[in-house]
Structure 1
Amino acid sequence: MKKITFICTTILAVGVFSLQAQDHRFIEENPTKPDKTEFWDPEIRVVSPGKTPSDAIVLFDGKNLDNWETVKDGSPAKWKVEDGAMTVVKGAGHISTKQKFTNYQLHIEWRSPIEPETLKSQGKGNSGIFMQGMYEVQVLNSYQNRSYRNGQAGSIYKQSAPLVNATSPMGEWNTYDIIYTAPKFTINGGIDTPAYVTVIHNGIVVQNHTKIQGTTEYIGQPKNPVHGPGPISLQDHGNPVSFRNIWIREM
């Protein structure tokens, strides 16, 4: 009897919920008063804007590399920290955040070094920012320095060229604001929803909800291994590129 009563109660509850849902849909589709299409709860969470939003995770504050490690072996990051910036030390290797992320808004500022005019194309101010450690937004001195379209600053490296070249001159700071949505995979290991990225370079949109084809490959086609959350990684390409003011907001 108790079991039957439980089942009946459950069915009744589901029925009431269903009616409520139907009524809600009916009101939305055929509103008779303005307040029927107003939603008050839950209240919108407050985030204080500013140089660093109040809900942001600061990944680099200009003082130390405590939040970073060497990609190769997980040892402490060995890049140089000076004057509020971190700078690539040639041979020190790529570095990654210790923390892993999925969907986010990333803010990062970078500066290509003053280098001789003999350096050209990919040899000049080259580095990269890797979402989840595997999808690269290119960093390059693309100011009056022509290179292949899908390899210049603001590109999804070897995949999607930026809409425009918004790069500052050598020695001046550039800003990237990156909105990234991670891929989702099917139970069989296929792609359910691909990764997407929007990149705003110095206030100018250079990637607009761009589909990421897969991992960044120097030679060959992108791959799509199944994965979960991943770090933000910065590339040691041999050029002394600097970074500062790095923060992230999880979404």
Structure 2
Amino acid sequence: MLASTAMAQGDLQSVTAPNMVFENGYIQVVGESEAGQSRYRAKTAAKVIAQANLLSVVKGVTIAGTTTVQEGMLVDADIKTAVGGFLQGAMVVDEQFFPGEGYARVVMRLNLRGESSLYNSMASTLQQPPAALKVEKLPEFKPQAAAAPAPQPVTYDGLIIVVEGTGFKPALANRIIAENQNILFEPSKVSPQMLIERGCGGYTTTEIKAKTLLQSWGSTSPLVVKCVKVQKGTEAVVSVQDATVIFEQDQKSNILSQAKVVFVL
């Protein structure tokens, strides 16, 4: 019982650091009112504080490159509208009133993926980014005969990109780019429904966790690729040879359109 209680309390802590937000798939904040109030006033005040905390965290989420949601809201009306709608979907996952001190504590959560999520609200913007977001359009990757690797003995049905120690930042529109600056993966490559359900893939801290996550998506044989560098903070760059393998395996298994991609941070 003590272990269950500790786990429950842990689940109700703030989740605001970018890596944790993308790994968990949600933003979670705590709002506490001042002491010495009635139950109704304290709970109302705690919710207002939690909502303000949520907005602050959402604004700090990176969309692409170095552009945050806050910057996107300033330059694009559609993004501002989308974020406003997204905030309406905030859920109260716990609320408590402490009569002795007269204060309340409210825990609120917003999902990144799924229905009533940030990806759902911004799917069209991410797949066709406005010029104001300064997302550079790159040519699509096409393998060259001279760069073609030897045929792979197995068919891969998922992709793990190891970006550990590179300074890579999770974002709403992470991209995978070949060293020749051709694009392999970005939101436009993902089917609309999968973008809502999985975003630009998953984020975790070990290859074992990545394989477990992919397995839950139906992937049993993932390809593991280590990026050679990161550019603009959110773009994982892979070698042309690895890009060719990814391209060819995607032709067989639709890895990219289904967002069966996990970044190991």
TM bucket by the smaller chain? Answer: under 0.3
TM-score, normalised via structure 1 length: 0.27
Q: Which has the larger radius of gyration?
A: 1
User: Which of structures 1 and 2 has the larger relative contact order (alpha carbons within 8 angstroms, sep 6+)?
Assistant: 1
TM, length-normalised to structure 2? 0.26
Higher helix share: 2
